Structure 1
């Protein structure tokens, strides 16, 4: 449960103070025999691992910083995002307990969350870069998005409850980051953008495409105004931990109520970026096929699970009208494709890149693949309302791989 700490004033943890804090929580049997290590490498938080020497039991302590590490103290952020993250994890655990880390303790004064250690899992992005395949991943992610989005939607909740939750998960600081870094800055000549000179022509083509900018603007407005369900808000492959049998979705500090297709689109985009990176390898056919099937299976699982919940647990009277569900799923699908296109572009030329592309050793091949990524991202955004099926979507991706 959330509690007040004996420390009642916020300060960023050090390895010493985080150990003193954990000793007050009665989590370990031998709290005086702990080793602590700072392991965080993200942009917004401190992350520590604490291990009990007697039992080798370990936990993670994550603490929000009052600024973005990637920029520094000139980019202040509210510490309330730590509360949003812990509450999102707890709410998500009610419907998909096996797909999120278990929260052991939260302290809102210190903006920190204590949770289970997932050291036996691997970061999905790193695994995909290393050409590892996880056959249960797509089913788990499709199930995760279907269950969490339906459970927090107007289809499952009383209107009063839903509106209270929308207020509770209002997340202005982190939503503003998404609004700027995903939907705005990459599509204009903005100082946060980051790309090599060799990409300049392709980037300026993006900036000059008025049809593209129109569609991105519409997608941004949907992100701003369509409070359909509680989203993870940052569902990329760096926020997913995996083993052969287990998938854990972490870091929902960007959680807010938005369009259901956004989480799916972010996941699709990061799989697509990894797929494009395989163009730099010689033996890629089987790997690419696995990645394409993963996207297909993610959507199939999502649609099947969402439909099942719709049929069994829906209390909205209009859901009995036969044409409503297909139209709603089509909206989620086309939204996801458009959001995927935005994510592809911003991860290629915006402030925050992905290692999938940036670690390609041959610079000329890296530039070529990034050009394809920009072209594909723009194509998905502009053609999303015409890509009615999985087949059309996959064919567009295959086209980018061939061209």
Structure 2
């Protein structure tokens, strides 16, 4: 990271975050403000600022290193600008599904945005047994709207290429390239798993057919600039209630393959399918099916209504595009399942299982499912095929 990038940078504290909030035209003049640092991620500070009436906002500041490792892993501060711009761009198409951005500062790498503290992080809620009836409708809509409208189907070629350049995000993409597509498929020091899973991990490292397919997925991620992705769309990047859904944290945003966002979200629902008891599993199964159904149907509607391609009415073209997105989504979901089980960054859906035997069993199931998704993605032609495969590996 260049020295000039941090020359004017100072990390916020709870006190300076309050001072910053007081300067904004948001709270009444002279309001008594309080601040609490609530960030539980690996890359940022997050301050929740409120006045005595409960009115609040969020100040998110990027750190110049990864909290999960420390200062030995430097990170660009430019990701804060990318995140804010991604929220604004996606907000043009689904303003009800992303937080409103109030202010930004590139030098200090912060974004001031809508307070979503009345909602729950979807991962935590799902683990606790919440159902979130609107979740798959909203995320299917979010995926269709944001991915179609930032693709060559929804944009003039000049506009699309300008946005692709604006959202060049090599540092954050390198994290994805390594932690999702490379390290889990080799005996790499960043991998992290229980000793009981050693043989399972070694089987993945020695599976040459799996490595070949992982290489193909990585090549797609590296080279296919299809649409502006969120880039890290898991259930921890979503706030939800029974009535509302908000997508947050697009600091990994960049131009990549459409199926990546779809696949990551589906994979994180699959974790819930794996860990839930039989009684609660049907809700997750319905969410998995409905996410794809809403995405594909809405994407098809946008195709008919707004597609700028000269080939939009060519017989079979829309079906071919959706088939590719589906196949890619399944493969990317498989990579996410594997990396969240034996890679560096885990999910509490699995790690939170207290019983050792049960936790290892569910992690093995996640690995088997991820491997099958990657190897069999060309054979799976519908979301029901995917659900049948999940059930067969249970």
**Could you state the TM-score of these two structures normalised by the residue count of structure 2?**
0.97
The alpha-carbon deviation at position 400 of structure 1 amounts to 1.6
1:124 aligns with 2:117: no
The alpha-carbon deviation at position 30 of structure 1 amounts to 3.4
3-state DSSP of counterpart to 1:347: helix
The alpha-carbon deviation at position 285 of structure 1 amounts to 2.2
3-state DSSP of counterpart to 2:107: coil
Say how many residue pairs are matched: 388
1:361 aligns with 2:379: no
Partner of 2:389 in structure 1? 396
3-state DSSP of counterpart to 1:327: helix
Partners of 1:287 and 1:173 in 2: CA distance: 39
**Could you state the TM-score of these two structures normalised by the residue count of structure 1?**
0.95
Unaligned runs of 5+ in 1: 1-7, 279-283
The alpha-carbon deviation at position 156 of structure 1 amounts to 1.1
Partner of 2:3 in structure 1? none
3-state DSSP of counterpart to 1:319: coil
Partner of 1:181 in structure 2? 179
Partners of 1:173 and 1:352 in 2: CA distance: 17
Candidates 68, 89, 93, aligned match of 2:87:
89
Partners of 1:47 and 1:326 in 2: CA distance: 42
Partners of 2:30 and 2:103 in 1: CA distance: 16
Candidates 279, 282, 285, aligned match of 1:286:
279
Unaligned runs of 5+ in 2: 1-6
Cα shift readout 1:137-183 (whole Å, capped 9, x = no counterpart): 11100000000001100011111111010000000111000000000
1:24 aligns with 2:17: no
1:321 aligns with 2:320: no
Partners of 1:78 and 1:14 in 2: CA distance: 20
3-state DSSP of counterpart to 2:393: helix
Partner of 1:384 in structure 2? 377
Partner of 1:340 in structure 2? 333
Partners of 2:381 and 2:151 in 1: CA distance: 24
Partner of 1:211 in structure 2? 209
Conserved in 2, the CA contact under 8 Å of 1:30 and 1:52? no
The alpha-carbon deviation at position 31 of structure 1 amounts to 4.4
Partners of 1:304 and 1:336 in 2: CA distance: 16
Partners of 1:275 and 1:394 in 2: CA distance: 10
Partner of 2:234 in structure 1? 236
Cα-Cα RMSD: 1.0
Partners of 1:354 and 1:300 in 2: CA distance: 26
Partners of 1:291 and 1:141 in 2: CA distance: 14
The alpha-carbon deviation at position 32 of structure 1 amounts to 4.7
Partner of 1:305 in structure 2? 298
Partners of 1:134 and 1:78 in 2: CA distance: 35
